[in-house]
Amino acid sequence: MRKLWGKTLLAASLAVSLTACSSTVSQSGNGGSSKVTPSSPSAPAAGTEAHAVHWSYGGETGPEHWGELGTENRACSSGLEQSPINLEQAKIKADATAAQAIEINYRPSQFTITNNGDTIRADAVTQDNTITLDGKEYTLAQFHFHVPSEHQIDGKNLDMELHFVHKDAGGKLAVVGVLMKAGDANEALAELWSKLPAEKTEESIALDQTIDLPALLPQTQDVFRYDGSLTTPPCSEGVEWTVMQEPIEVSQEQIDAFASIFPDNHRPVQPWNDREVFRVNE
């Protein structure tokens, strides 16, 4: 376990990659996704680099081709620790070491939202939401959504998945995945959902109210943990993954509203290879 989580990997380049790909991806091909081509060549507010990779969630630029779309995406096809994965419960080991538990310190907080062409992303305005993994603190940078879920439980996708993306002081990433299933409407998402930008945004949209982050977490904090990657190009590895075992609920109307903008923005599951996945109960 110590060996598994003790790696020091490409943290700095990861941070750069994440910024580049979450802000400046454009779509020029016939990839069959719902991405919108930017109407002007002006740089997006948060973008710092030109990034010429044209990828999508279907067709010739879809997930099975991401690794061919540029040398910076090589990990998408040749990486051995890719995300997402099928969380096959019979293969998952219990980890009884209390030190491996996750500590989540979230509070109602302010966010701005953007449609970056791949998802709806909420960027943290403040730096006071953190998680602690193995005694190391990571700060929440943003969260975003996928339809259907990217991780599978015993071979099945759920309706949606929420990714909370955190960074430590060195730029290493830790993502907390929360699976979402159809049920009661999620009040914590009400204002965000009322302002979902249908098209790619040039500027972020401010929300009037804070988002109640603790209300976006399941009641029990039992988790699965493994070493993985970004689930979008450049698929950089060295990402600490924590997937909550219990899903949260979101109404079918909320799912449909998101899916009307992004009908399918999930990457298929990737091989485990030599990795181990651990179950950590609170």
Q: In this structure, what token pair is assigned to residue 279?
A: 């179950």
Select the residue whose beta carbon is closest to Zn ion and give its number. 163
Total chain residues near Zn ion (CB under 5 A): 1
Q: Where are the alpha helices (DSSP H) in the chain?
A: 2-5, 11-23, 74-78, 190-194, 252-259
User: Measuring CA to CA, which residue among 90, 82, 133 is closest to residue 275?
Assistant: 82
Q: Is 163 in the site for Zn ion (CB under 5 A)?
A: yes
Cα distances (angstroms) measured from residue 230 to each of 1, 13, 56, 85, 165 = 21, 12, 15, 12, 10
Site string for Zn ion, 31-50 (x = CB under 5 A): --------------------
Q: Pick the closer one to Zn ion by CB: 95 or 106.
A: 106
From the list 58-66, 157-165, 189-197, 219-227, the region that binds Zn ion by CB under 5 A is: 157-165
Taking the complex as a whole, the smallest distance from the CB of residue 143 to Zn ion amounts, in Å, to 9
Taking the complex as a whole, the smallest distance from the CB of residue 231 to Zn ion amounts, in Å, to 5
Q: Pick the closer one to Zn ion by CB: 102 or 176.
A: 176
Taking the complex as a whole, the smallest distance from the CB of residue 120 to Zn ion amounts, in Å, to 11
Q: Pick the closer one to Zn ion by CB: 101 or 259.
A: 259
Residue pointed to by tokens 């485990």 = 272
User: Measuring CA to CA, which residue among 181, 190, 195, 203 is closest to residue 249?
Assistant: 181
- Secondary structure (3-state) at 73: helix
Q: Which helix (H) or strand (E) covers residue 177, if one does?
A: strand 173-182
* Interface positions, 85-104, toward Zn ion (CB under 5 A): none
Q: Pick the closer one to Zn ion by CB: 173 or 188.
A: 173
Taking the complex as a whole, the smallest distance from the CB of residue 253 to Zn ion amounts, in Å, to 22
Q: Pick the closer one to Zn ion by CB: 151 or 163.
A: 163
39 contacts 27 by C-beta, under 8 angstroms = no
Binding residues for Zn ion (CB under 5 A): 163
